[in-house]
Chain A
């Protein structure tokens, strides 16, 4: 029997070429300006929408493409070429997390209100899980909504929210019946302009400069019951259901970006001369390049293994958690080593490795820290 080596077929490669053309002509040329401005215009969402890239995992009847995780992975890999982790974070939070969640959980009326304009990039979504005092221990979520007539009255705060300031709507995880434990959570769709909803101001960060990251505050916000997404009491499980994919997204994105930076560093060590030869010809540097290439390749193959499991509908929480740890730690070390190989120039903004170094630092933290991943795996192996 012949085992296929390539996961991606001709259609994926055709799609990859389209993604690359879009990212290289619409996003990358503006990356420097957006990073400096610490912002990118809402117009970018419209462009991504008009070109059809928000609909990858949305059914055709809602304006999407009905693609699978593999097609989405192609887009994620190409996004590394955008040259700004912050821009990619904003776009993919909306297109690959919010919209598929709406497609999966929202009712028909909500889909018409949020999903259809969302696919076009005309409405922008954000996800409210993390809170000022709660991260991966979501169970301790302090945001609470109480029923009052036909409305929910929401109080609480959400932290580090991507697209937070600009979001037209936020999927907010909150407790609706605290006494019911894990079964006491629900997801409310909170909309821009609702009384008592403060979208705060942009948080200053080490990297992801172009990203709109905010703290959101809910002060007696009346959310109509029509904005309850999914079943009451299912919020916690719904939030957990997609974490595998969301973590794999980070692993895939970080390795694609690592590869790109490795490629650029390869060019640099072959052209930059010191002591009469290219610096890549020194054994110490050659070994660094080889170590990085090995790490990247190993991480990529673990990512692809997880992707296969996910596509086959097999449970893969353990493998995905391992992949996230491994890919993000590899990326962290690639960032450090590539910057080092660039010497003084690596420390300068002019060489993109400086931005990558700052952006990459998020990977071992966001979407569950490396330490949390290890706790998940620890539990799964029975220790």
Chain B
């Protein structure tokens, strides 16, 4: 089986994000980058499937991003993935989800695929659009936010579960298909030391948009349908107000008035 994992590199959730003074983006100095956590579930599920399917099954990681993305690709290779395709093109900086999806879909198509796993969303911008768009572009079924995954013996169908309000939804789909992975699907493994030492020798194919036969003016930032106009930092928390020197009854009244008229929450 040709198993594909779509992977995104994002700032570590523990990194303190600072917005640039001119609002054009975030300060990238000192940011530690990691695999988007939901994509780790995708890597793990892909590796589990490879172990189950056996034979000549392979796991290929496909990722779009700048040079630094290779570090995260290597981590996935160290966990056990076999190969990777790195779509690296400056024109993708500022591309919208559809543009990125077009690049990824083409790279996946060129590589060949039987099944695709992705995280349900990237934890940086939380758009949750790329996996669905890739599935659409490849014209295959997709189920997002899956918490359980089963595949039939002949690998023609998969049964997956999604958590829904008050219960669980079970869906059966033909393959190939794309699955967006949710927390709880599995416990991502640690990259073993032998795995880390072997990762360097595994093939990482780097391609740009031209190499994929795509037009940077269409797929890249220039052709983007969505433009980020400005980044605005969260407002600093205001100091609280303390009602002092009043009787309890009077203070309660004043508190209700302030909540109603100033804070406008009741």
Contacts and interface: CB of A to CB of B under 8 A. Distances in A.
Given A21-B190, A52-B192, 20 more contacts: A10-B71, A11-B196, A11-B197, A11-B199, A11-B200, A14-B74, A14-B78, A14-B199, A15-B193, A15-B196, A17-B34, A17-B75, A22-B190, A51-B192, A52-B193, A56-B193, A65-B194, A65-B197, A66-B194, A67-B197
13 contacts: A10-B71, A10-B74, A14-B74, A14-B75, A14-B196, A15-B196, A17-B34, A51-B192, A56-B193, A65-B192, A66-B194, A67-B193, A67-B197
Contact of B191 (A18, A55, A66, A71): A18
A65 B75 contact: no
B189 to A, nearest CB: 8
Given A10-B74, A14-B74, A14-B75, A55 B193 contact: yes
Contacts of B191: 14-15, 18
B137 to A, nearest CB: 32
A60 interface: yes
Interface of A: 10-11, 14-15, 17-18, 21-22, 51-52, 55-56, 60, 65-67, 71
The main secondary structure of chain A at its interface with chain B is: helix
Contact of B193 (A10, A17, A21, A65): A65
A109 B10 CA distance: 48
A15 B192 CA distance: 8
A56 B193 CA distance: 7
Contacts, number: 41
The main secondary structure of chain B at its interface with chain A is: helix
A21 B75 CA distance: 13
B190 A52 contact: yes
A25 to B, nearest CB: 10
Interface in B170-200: 190-194, 196-197, 199-200
A10 B199 CA distance: 11
A107 B196 CA distance: 29
Contacts of A71: 193
A252 to B, nearest CB: 18
Nearest 7 interchain pairs by C-beta: A65-B193, A52-B192, A51-B190, A65-B194, A18-B190, A18-B191, A67-B193
A343 to B, nearest CB: 27
Nearest to A72: B193
Interface string B6-29: 000000000000000000000000
Contacts of A60: 194
Contacts of B34: 17
